[in-house]
Structures are given as structure tokens and as C-alpha cells.
Structure 1
Amino acid sequence: RGSATLVYEVEIPDDADAGDTFEISSNADSDVDLGTDVIEVSDVVPPDVNDNGQPAQDLDGDGLYEDVTGDGQLQINDVQVLFYNRDSDAVQNNAQLFNFDGQEPASIDVSDVQALFVLFQES
């Protein structure tokens, strides 16, 4: 037996709200029954970690918000702001966005700050 990667193309209606669910299934014209699955719509609203009016940003599309200050760049002050605010609700309630050390379950601590610092040094 082999394995395969399946990719679903799903069009979510413009009026869908966070929490709405949609059932997806294999194409009716397909010879293969892939079963059904359910997806849930969610909104990722990046937090404004340091209350400067600029939400954090994911600069490279990896799901991690390296630009903690929201100024469009990864700089040393992003590392400093994450360190200073690591226990704040804005960071802890969005741990998946700042989980730079990759530990699961996501919980932000000094190791995430250190991992962001390494990313900064490599940039």
C-alpha cells in the first residue's frame, strides 16, 4: 500500500463567519470515494502586541508572526517586544502565531524569544 497527498480546493462563501462549518467530500464524478470531512472557518486576527496600532505580521507565510511590532520588518526590537510581552494576553492567547521553538502544545516562553532571535540573526 502506498500513500498519497490530497489537496482540497474549497470555496468559502463571502458571508461565512468564524465557526461556520462546511462538509467536503470527493467529487461525485470521481471513481474513488475519499469519504467526507468537515472544515471550520476561522479568523486569524493578528494581535497588536505592543499597542502601537500595528498588528503583528507573518513576513514569510509560514504561519509565524516574526514581525511582532507590525512595522513590516524583522528587527531586534521585535525580539525585545516579544520578550517584554511574552506573558501578555495578546501573546499567550495567540501562542500558535509566536511558537518559534515549535514546542507543542504552543505556549510562549523565553525559548520562543531565543528562537526568534536566531531567526533575526539569520535574516
Structure 2
Amino acid sequence: MKKIEVVAAAILSSDLTQLFIAKRASQAHQGGLWEFPGGKKENGETPEQALIRELDEEIGIHAQSVSPLIRLEHDYGDKLIELDVYVVNEFRGEAHGAEGQVTKWILMSEIDAYDFPEANVPIIGALKKKLGLG
């Protein structure tokens, strides 16, 4: 089975009440679902280096502070995803869909109204716990 190392960021507003999310392209794996921005780790990169590069390429921000949130594996049947997730709430730039993807800031209190891939369920749980939302 193909194993893919991925990094993602829970990008929070400075007051920790809002979360920046992106919609996966309809033709992509898990297309049409919302996700935490990030991407594949390249050879020789640390997860933090990959995250900073991916956030710059994908949403046009430079993360100034990243802290680990959760590490998990998820088996989609056709591929095994190894995912390192970080919280980012200090960054330079204006977060936007730099690759043409739909993005938005949502209230953390409304996260359950959005459809995320199955692998993101434990991430959402860890983020809620970190922020004291249950």
C-alpha cells in the first residue's frame, strides 16, 4: 500500500475564535470536502519545513510560530496517510486560496457544520480539546 506523509495546519485567528479552511478540488481524493491547509512532505524536509513551504504555496502566508497538535495515520484503503498537524496562529500575509481553491474563515463554534474527510475527525477533536470547546 502506498504511504503518503502529509502535513496540515489548523490556522487560527489571533483571538482563537476563527479557523481558516480550504475546500478540496472536486477531482481530488476526498474532493469537495473541507480540509486543513497543507500538503505532502518532500524528501529531506522536516514536517515543520514542509508545513511552512506548503502554507506559503497554497494559501500565501508565512507561518511564524507552529506548535504540534496531533500526529495520526489513516488508512483510506488505497493509501495510508501519515499526518502531522500543527496549530498556527502567528503568521504574516493574508490567507487566501493561492492555487484557486475555495477558502474561508469560519467560527470554531460552527466547525461541525462543515464536511471534512474522515481522517480529520480526530484533528477536529484535538483542536476542540486544545481550545476548551469540548
> Which TM-score tier does this pair reach, normalised by the shorter chain?
under 0.3
- The higher relative CO (CA closer than 8 Å, separation ≥ 6) is in 2
For the pair shown, the structure with the greater C-alpha radius of gyration is: 1
TM-score (norm 2): 0.26
Structure number having the greater strand percentage: 2
TM-score (norm 1): 0.27
